[in-house]
Amino acid sequence: AQSVTQLDSQVPVFEEAPVELRCNYSSSVSVYLFWYVQYPNQGLQLLLKYLSGSTLVESINGFEAEFNKSQTSFHLRKPSVHISDTAEYFCAVINFGNEKLTFGTGTRLTIIP
Amino acid sequence: DVKVTQSSRYLVKRTGEKVFLECVQDMDHENMFWYRQDPGLGLRLIYFSYDVKMKEKGDIPEGYSVSREKKERFSLILESASTNQTSMYLCASSFATGVHEQYFGPGTRLTVT
């Protein structure tokens, strides 16, 4: 069985400061990893994904995440946040050959002006 | 652009009523999913379907059923709504092969009184 842990339920950050949202997963087989973002009053949107190849993946709006197999982590980072990054962020994992995503409990990112 | 639409953004029903939540996708996706989202619990899979008339239970199917008569439409049914089914319901769809990126609808916030 696969599982995802997001230890931080809320992360307040000053505008233009860096941020890291933590994600750890557990699986007995190889996985695909995703970060989804949910802006206020909207559904989830894919932010970035790791499938294979380079362990560092980037989104179009400045976020990046690094797959670390030895630490079973997929932390999300941004060097300088903006008010528009205020949202809830969900880490998700899927095993090879499986149809079902398993989501973490989410991290609410609040940007302080 | 992939579009997943849900029939209602907000719904208020009484205990014991039969409730239908409708989801339609326009990308010819084989897979469709129903999740519920609750604070502190993240997204939990209720049911999913990988083809017309096919369905599989997710992690929390109790109290729910589904119907998929056409490829583009996936319905979630609450046979007898209860207050503990007050939640945000999210529909998603994906292709069956390749990367299992899921596309989400905007959600239906259901309140059962």
Whether A104 has its CB under 8 Å from any CB of chain B: the answer is yes
Whether B31 has its CB under 8 Å from any CB of chain A: the answer is yes
Alpha-carbon distance A86 to nearest alpha carbon in chain B (angstroms) = 17
What's the CATH fold of domain A3-112? Immunoglobulin-like (2.60.40)
Whether B90 has its CB under 8 Å from any CB of chain A: the answer is yes
Whether A51 has its CB under 8 Å from any CB of chain B: the answer is yes
Give the span between the Cα atoms of A82 and B76, in whole angstroms: 37
Q: Residues A85-112: pLDDT tens digits?
A: 999 999 999 877 777 889 999 999 999 9
Contacts (Cβ under 8 Å, ≥6 apart) of B71: B28, B29, B30, B51, B52
Whether the predicted pLDDT of B101 surpasses 90: no
- Residue B95 is predicted with a pLDDT of 85
Residue boundaries of the structural domains of chain B: 4-97
Residue boundaries of the structural domains of chain A: 3-112
CATH of B4-97, one of 1.10.10.10, 2.60.40.10, 3.40.718.10, 2.40.30.170: 2.60.40.10
Q: Residues B24-35: pLDDT tens digits?
A: 999 999 999 999
Tell me if B43 and A103 make a contact (CB, 8 A cut-off). yes
Q: Residues A6-24: pLDDT tens digits?
A: 999 999 999 999 999 999 9
If pLDDT is split at 50, 70 and 90, which confidence band does B2 have?
A: low
